[in-house]
Amino acid sequence: MLAYYTFSVLLDTTITSDSRLYVEFPYSLPAWINDDQQVECYMRTADNPSTNDVTSIESFCQVYEERRIVIYTSLNATAGSTLYFDVFNVEQPLSTNITLSSYVSVALDLDSNITNGVYEYGAVEEVSPSTDSIGTIQMLGATASPAQLQASQNITITF
């Protein structure tokens, strides 16, 4: 099952389109983040969930190495503001795979050159949810009406 992570970073410097964010996930996730090795990222400066926030801006991001994602900033933000970013399509870890040493780390690079170091780095300990990840969802039935394939349809799914 895929999940999404939301991060917030209080900026003490201005970021521009040259800035990059690096997110490193722990070994509780499978290598390459998910089976497709594709993630989707959004940025915003408002504290609204990106799933329903029209001010969120899609940001180019890519899986880089086994558990690292590079996010190219898609907006400019000034010092003192909070940057929110969401990473979608991350495999949800099983609670049994989360250990006391599981951390998600975030690094901010201001000049798009990771070889000269990053500006700021932080890590958050991963916390096991109170219930395990949802397993397979079994569909018991599905109906579509009308039966014509190229017409607008109402689809009903029974679980």
Domain ranges of the chain: 2-158
pLDDT at 148: 65
pLDDT at 15: 92
pLDDT at 149: 62
pLDDT tens for the chain, 159 residues: list them. Answer: 788 888 888 999 999 989 999 999 887 777 887 777 788 999 988 887 655 566 788 899 999 888 899 999 988 899 999 999 899 888 877 666 666 677 889 999 998 787 888 998 988 887 766 655 555 566 677 776 766 666 666 666 666
Residue 129 exposed, middle or buried by CB count within 10 Å (0-12, 13-18, 19+): exposed
Return the closest-CA partner of residue 33 out of 60, 64, 71, 7: 64
CATH architecture of the domain covering 2-158: Sandwich (2.60)
pLDDT at 80: 92
